[in-house]
Structure 1
Amino acid sequence: MQEPITGQRNTSWKMIGPGIVVAATGVGSGDLVATLVAGENYGYALLWAVIVGCIVKISLAEATGRWHLATGKTIFDGWRSLGLWTFVFFAPYIVIWGFVYGATAMSATALPLAAMFPAVPLPVFAVIAGISGLVFVWFNQYPVFEKVMTVLVGVMFVTVVGLAVYLVPNLGDMATGIVPTVPDGSLFNTLGLIGGVGGTITMAAYGFWVNAKGWRDSTWIKMMRMDNRVAYITTGVFVLAMLIVGAELLRPMGVALADGDQGLITLAEVLRDEFGPVVSILFLIGFFAAAYTSLIGVWHGVSLMFADFVRKLRGQPSIPVEERETSKEFRAYLIWLTFPPMLLLILDEPIQLIIAYGVLGSAFMPFLAFTLMWLLNTRHTPKEWRNGIVSNVGLAIAGGLFLVLCVNDIYTRITGAGG
């Protein structure tokens, strides 16, 4: 039986770490672009959606961390206890997701570098980004990884949040955005903004980072909860900063962003024209920090997950994180994330693979929310650590939201229709 809440360890700001890691990994260039577009199209009207998105992700990450700490097991132990079907879903997901995401992460990291150094082809920077991420994660373990992520978050804060402050946001308009409204034609943009605030598979990686920090049992749950709240408040600040930039800079100018990560390059060009090259370069540095933290975060966190997944697939027990970081399974997935995806940098994207990637990816979040809800309400979890009303409501909202987004995404990808 796990210790009750009275046996909790003291919390300390100095001990915060996994939350910073999951926040930095979850906030990628795609999140920044989506929020910029929301600000550009609707001003501050969807500010409330950013707040709801952070609350939803707090519920999910807290549930993941609590499972690991309250049971002493990993999420794969929990999924395996629900039946082999969970592994049948997850096996192709982690393989296909890693292949496509590897190329996406490398390209996103290369974009700001290519913008700053246009003489160097983008694929060269993409390859350098991938290999540097592999080398860093291969030869360093969690303590060093966390410190580097924290430094990069600091760079993001100074550049991205600094830009928002520099633009002097209209506080009155921001206050009106706290009241929930859904502008005409913005329903799925709104749901996507809520669902996209910080992370997909990295939500499940949070429990592994919690263990890597040395938090191994229920006495750390209070500290984990504090760490998790800091993580998504940090996420909210970054996303709010991009909403401000969209509302205060792009909306008045009527600038239409380019699709995908290229939209941030468009923003850098606008900043150069409006405020000069220094502001533009500082933003590109922040863009790079956001993209590279996502890259090395996935290289580390999802490789930890893959190593544990393979062991559970073989019926083997978990091993300490320190051993998992040097295991052949961990390093095999690092290689999978880095080298095979380089083919996508030079070849046309195979449409069937991209569709499979999108479908599996959109299905993962409802899968995570609903399986956690089941595990944390049943005999799988010690009674004193099972869900309360707040956690159940949070997970139910998260699961329902992501299920709607999943169905819309699948429909859109298959039919080509707008959502």
Structure 2
Amino acid sequence: MIDVTATQGTQLRQQAAETAQAPATRRGRLALLGPGLVLAAASVGAGDMVTSLSGAAGYGMALLWAILIGVVLKFSLTEAVGRLYMATGQTVIASLRSVGRWLPAAFFAFVLVIGLIYGAALSSVASLALSTLFPALPLRPLAVAIALVSAAIVYVGRYALFERVMSAFILVKFLGMVVLAVAMLATTDDLPGLVSTMRPRLPDGSVVTVLALIGGVGGTAGIASYSYWVRERGWQHRSWLPVMRADSAVSYAVTFLFVLCTTVVGTGLLYGTGDTISGNDGLAALADPLGADLGSAARVLFLATFFFVTLSALVGGFNALSYLLADSLRTLRGIPETDATPHMAQSSRPFRAFLAYCAVAAVAVTFLGQPVALVLTYAAVGSLILPVLSGTLLVLLNRRGIEPLYRNKIMSNVLLSGAFVLFGVLAVVQLKETF
């Protein structure tokens, strides 16, 4: 039974959002940015660091152009997700049904599998960073504690508090990586040689690395969840469209700068040495040679940044996955979009139930030792989200029923088509390698 009072309150909030005008000045609009910072904090994780450092070890900064392409494609997806919500008042999950009745169920299954392993994988990586800093800390119990604390942060706070926490995370990890990059540039023995590696090129045998860089930068579930964070801010009137675009642009500007700094560090430390990193263990081991080159303070700063990078991705991921699962369930149950807030808000029972699912799964999988088959399944299923999302946005935002202001223009169609093809190819490669 739907709570009538809650429903009326939802409708009043929606009416207020529709009549609220965005600030007219650029400074006023920038002061309102927030969901994009949440997305940047949630999307930039250990995987981005591993991918960019591995690329820097082999090719220096020659593949920054590939990272830039990835950032542009992810921005086009995020902007389209926000624009779809502002055009229709519906989230991506609710809109999937009009493209294919089976899509909400498929998306629910995708996210359910991701939620099963996500917390265990990231909490284990975060605990690795802390145990490297403090060797006396036991790895597995620490991973469990980090997963539970991350879930608690999402559970106790409404969106405003969650956004402030995520903004603090992005500030800490961004400043940490900038300081390391500046220190690397200031102390390198061959600054011209390091800068010369920035010349764009496509080295022989680097196609797989290039595709990984393009597809790896930024997030997946976070992009699909962007409309929930936009909704929490009440950005529905057409005057908020420039604010949303600026917000998503800032998100990917921060993401690109972070990966640029990581690439500078990787180039200065690894390029030309024959050394590389292998997975998250190698990422933690990188702290020792970094400390040998730049001093013990740099080692501590790197590990602390590594920890906050992973922690913010874990907290943001728990929030994003819980929103997606609660919205998918609402859509499958046929609850109207106008009654969505009581069923999807951070304080709602479905949201908190799915948050508990992610937390319990993280603890269980951590104690099971993260079975390889489950990790591979998670990677394969996760690779399907972006091609489904980009294809859906291409269909929905080209319909005549969409107001021209929100409808795809030529550039949006080009970028979304490119994203559909690229991420589709990457999904096929991932599925082939898994199965």
- Residues 14 and 351 of structure 1, relative CA distance in 2, 3 Å threshold: same
Q: Which residue of the partner structure matches residue 186 of structure 1?
A: 206
Partner of 1:217: 237
Q: Which residue of 2 aligns with 1:63?
A: 80
Q: Which moved more, 1:103-112 or 1:380-389?
A: 380-389
AA partner of residue 301 (structure 2): L
Structure 2 counterparts to residues 90-129 of structure 1, below 5 A: 90-129=107-146
- 1:334 corresponding residue in structure 2: 355
Which amino acid is 1:29 matched to? A
Runs of 4+ with deviation above 6 angstroms: none
Shift in Å, 1:295: 0.7
Residue 322 of structure 1: how far off its partner (Å) = 9.7
Deviation at 1:372, TM superposition (A): 0.6
Q: Tell me the TM-score normalized by structure 1.
A: 0.92
1:279 correspondence with 2:308: no
Q: Does 1:207 align with 2:224?
A: no
Residue equivalent to 2:175:
158
Contact 1:99 1:340 in 2 (8 A): yes
User: How far apart in 2 are the matches of 1:171 and 1:305?
Assistant: 47
Contact 1:110 1:126 in 2 (8 A): yes
Deviation at 1:23, TM superposition (A): 0.8
Match of 1:417?
A: none
Which whole-Å CA distance do the structure 2 matches of 1:175 and 1:226 have between them?
32
Query: Is the Cα–Cα contact under 8 Å of residues 326 and 343 in structure 2 kept in the other structure?
Result: no
Whether contact under 8 Å (1:160, 1:238) holds in the other structure is: yes
Q: Displacement of 1:8 after TM fit? A: 6.3
Instruction: Confirm or deny that 1:15 pairs with 2:24.
Output: no
Match of 1:255 in 2: 275
- Write the distance in 2 (CA, Å) between the matches of 1:70 and 1:185: 44
What is the letter of the counterpart of residue 37 of structure 1? S
Structure 2 unaligned residues grouped into runs of 5+: 1-16
The answer on whether the counterparts of 1:306 and 1:333 sit within 8 Å (CA) in structure 2 is: yes
Residues in 1 aligned to 2:175 and 2:362: alpha-carbon distance in whole angstroms: 32
1:233 equivalent to 2:253? Answer yes
1:402 pairs with 2:409: no
Note closer, same or farther for the CA distance 1:381–1:77 as it changes in structure 2 (3 Å cut).
Answer: farther
Q: CA contact under 8 A between 2:78 and 2:223: conserved in structure 1?
A: yes
Q: Render the CA deviation track for 1:373-400: whole Å, top value 9, x for unaligned.
A: 1110013522331100111111011111
Alignment of 1:35-54 (within 5 A): 35-54=52-71
CA deviation map 1:171-194 (0-9, x unaligned)? 786576363x22111101101101
Which residue number corresponds to residue 262 of structure 2?
242
Give the TM-score, by structure 2 length. 0.89
Query: Equivalent residue for 1:310?
Result: 329
1:43-68 Cα offsets, whole Å, 9 max, x none, are 11101111111111110100001011
CA distance in 2, matches of 1:14, 1:343: 41
CA gap of 1:279–1:176, structure 2 versus 1, over 3 A, is closer
Q: Which amino acid aligns with 2:85?
A: H
Measured at CA, do residues 380 and 172 of structure 1 come closer, stay the same or move farther in structure 2, by a change above 3 Å?
farther
Q: In 1, are the aligned partners of 2:41 and 2:313 still within 8 Å (CA)? A: yes
Match of 2:50 in 1: 33
Whether contact under 8 Å (2:22, 2:239) holds in the other structure is: yes
CA deviations over 1:148-173 (Å, ceiling 9, x no partner): 11111111122111101111184786
